[in-house]
């Protein structure tokens, strides 16, 4: 008996949508095994990790709070990924967006202007776009691989944040903690449900998902980007601009990540610290792929990813497991997704014989 992979005549649509579900199931199963190997009861682990976080309305609100930056980053990245623009630096763009909006909040400290918050959101988007424009320029002008450049810029952005909160932007009355002053009321996103932290950025994220869907599936520009991503020569033959696709893909990704940065610093954090994002920009890539680069999928995948973040916190508190357990789950999810994605284009045949 042999197992053989055979290319399918056409990619399986069923597998395309089934694959993320299989990946989640395999992640859960392996998670149970992992809990067992760590000497915990798998059922207890599952309960703490996946059910506890959602046991009250506060938990559900937290889920949406954490899903918000993931949705924003992932939908922006998906626009680029569909065009084969591999922006993997959303984390850095998120940080620079947070810095740009945060600068506005600190500069106009105590301002009562209703324009301050919208201004911060715009500044955040522009900051993220600025950071994303560097790899875009390097790619279009010098053909430098944006995977490398955008990733390297993440570390530059992290160090920039670190320098600012340790240096020029440090709160003079902050007991020498590496953080800025707290933002004042008009520089904070309004909370949607009293007693929780979920804020108005969720609406921005959902609007972004809808706009993203229209752009990717119905607009001619979205189509052109898809062509540019898949066949550069075809796009040149048709007269589409490949450079425009790269720029658009990078800028949309950067802009969305920048807004995600604002959703954090003008949301639950309320200031700039060294730890603005627990890796949302990176996790958003997994979200984008689990969500099949489609806004509907991204919505659900963001909630799942948010749950993994919350489960990690719970596991730390109640199971004495390290916080990095949630990173392990993220990794397993991506791993199983890539594995089951093989079956979109291939199927397995059982062979009883090769030759007669």
Partner 1 sequence: MQTQAPATPRLLIKGARKAYPAVVANDGIDLTVMPGEIHAVLGENGAGKSTLMKIIYGVIRPDEGELHWEGLRVSVANPAQARALGIGMVFQHFSLFETLTVVQNVALALPGKFDLASLATRIEEVSERYGLPVDPRRLVHALSVGERQRVEIIRCLLQNPKLLILDEPTSVLTPQAVRKLFETLRQLAAEGCSILYISHKLDEIQELCHTATVLRGGKVTGTCTPSLETPQTMARMMIGEDLPVCHHGEPEDGGEVRLRIEGLSHATEDPFGTHLKNINLTVRSGEILGIAGVSGNGQQELLKAISGEEPLTDRRAIQICGVPVGRLSPAGRRSLGMCFVPEERLGRGAVPRLTLTENILLTAYRKGMLFAGLIRFGVAKRFAEDCIARFDVKCGGAGSEAKSLSGGNLQKFIVGREIMQNPKVLVLAQPTWGVDVGAASFIRRSLLELRNSGTAILVISEELDELFEICDRLTVIAKGSLSPTIVTSETGVEEIGIWMSGLWPSSEASEGDSHVA
User: Which pairs with CB-CB distance under 8 Å and at least 24 residues apart come from 188-193?
Assistant: 188/117, 188/266, 188/267, 188/270, 189/117, 189/262, 189/263, 189/266, 189/267, 192/61, 193/57, 193/61
The yes or no reply on residue 342 touching partner 1 (CB under 8 A) is no
Give yes or no for a contact between 135 and 87, defined as CB atoms under 8 angstroms apart.
yes
Q: Contacting partner 1 (CB under 8 A), which of 58, 223, 300, 335?
A: 223
Q: Contacting partner 1 (CB under 8 A), which of 73, 78, 205, 227?
A: 227
Give yes or no for a contact between 150 and 87, defined as CB atoms under 8 angstroms apart.
yes
Q: Contacting partner 1 (CB under 8 A), which of 107, 141, 352, 356?
A: 356
Report d(CA 334, CA 345) in Å as an integer: 18
| Distance from the Cα of residue 304 to its chain's centroid | 12
Smaller CB separation from partner 1, 124 or 222: 222
| Least Cβ distance, residue 23 to partner 1 (angstroms) | 22
Site for partner 1 in 10-39 (CB under 8 A): 10-11
The yes or no reply on residue 247 touching partner 1 (CB under 8 A) is no
- Total interface residues for partner 1 by CB under 8 A: 26
Give yes or no for a contact between 169 and 180, defined as CB atoms under 8 angstroms apart.
yes
Q: Contacting partner 1 (CB under 8 A), which of 114, 167, 168, 239?
A: 239
The yes or no reply on residue 186 touching partner 1 (CB under 8 A) is no
The yes or no reply on residue 230 touching partner 1 (CB under 8 A) is yes
| Least Cβ distance, residue 354 to partner 1 (angstroms) | 7
Q: Contacting partner 1 (CB under 8 A), which of 5, 8, 17, 163?
A: 8
Q: Contacting partner 1 (CB under 8 A), which of 131, 240, 280, 289?
A: 240
The yes or no reply on residue 237 touching partner 1 (CB under 8 A) is yes
Q: Which residues does 163 contact at the CB level (< 8 Å), separation at least 6?
A: none
Site for partner 1 in 93-122 (CB under 8 A): none
| Least Cβ distance, residue 295 to partner 1 (angstroms) | 16
Q: Which residues does 247 contact at the CB level (< 8 Å), separation at least 6?
A: 133, 136, 140
| Distance from the Cα of residue 134 to its chain's centroid | 20
Spatial CA neighbour of 215 closest among 91, 97, 82, 88: 82
Report d(CA 273, CA 165) in Å as an integer: 6
Binding site for partner 1 (CB under 8 A): 6-11, 214, 218-221, 223, 226-227, 230-231, 233-234, 236-240, 354-356
């Amino acid at each position: 008996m042999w197992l053989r992979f055979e290319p399918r005549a056409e990619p399986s649509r069923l597998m395309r949508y089934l694959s993320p579900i299989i990946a989640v199931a395999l992640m859960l199963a392996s998670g149970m095994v992992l809990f067992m190997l760590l000497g915990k009861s798998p059922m207890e682990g599952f309960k703490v990790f996946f059910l506890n976080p959602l046991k009250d309305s506060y938990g559900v609100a937290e889920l949406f709070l954490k899903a918000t930056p993931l949705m924003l980053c992932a939908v922006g990245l998906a626009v680029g990924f569909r065009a084969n623009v591999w922006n993997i630096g959303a984390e850095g763009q998120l940080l620079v967006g947070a810095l740009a909006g945060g600068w506005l909040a600190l500069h106009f400290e105590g301002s009562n202007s209703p324009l301050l918050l919208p201004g911060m959101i715009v500044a955040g988007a522009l900051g993220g776009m600025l950071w994303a424009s560097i790899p875009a320029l390097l790619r279009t002008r010098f053909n430098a691989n944006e995977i490398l450049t955008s990733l390297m810029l993440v570390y530059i952005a992290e160090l920039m944040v670190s320098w600012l909160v340790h240096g020029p932007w440090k709160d003079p009355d902050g007991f020498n903690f590496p953080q800025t002053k707290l933002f004042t009321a008009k520089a904070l996103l309004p909370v949607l449900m009293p007693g929780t932290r979920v804020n108005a950025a969720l609406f921005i994220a959902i609007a972004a998902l809808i706009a993203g869907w229209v752009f990717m599936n119905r607009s001619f520009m979205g189509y052109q980007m898809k062509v540019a991503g898949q066949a550069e020569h075809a796009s040149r033959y048709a007269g589409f601009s490949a450079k425009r696709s790269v720029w658009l893909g990078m800028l949309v990704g950067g802009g969305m990540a920048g807004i995600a940065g604002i959703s954090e610093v003008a949301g639950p954090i309320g200031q700039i610290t060294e730890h603005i994002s627990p890796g949302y920009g990176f996790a958003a890539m997994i979200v984008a792929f689990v969500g099949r680069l489609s806004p509907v999928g991204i919505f659900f995948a963001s909630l799942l990813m948010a749950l993994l973040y919350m489960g990690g916190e719970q596991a730390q508190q109640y199971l004495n497991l390290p916080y990095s357990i949630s990173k392990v789950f993220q990794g397993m999810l991506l791993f199983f997704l890539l594995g089951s994605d093989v079956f979109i284009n291939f199927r397995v045949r059982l062979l009883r014989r090769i030759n007669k």
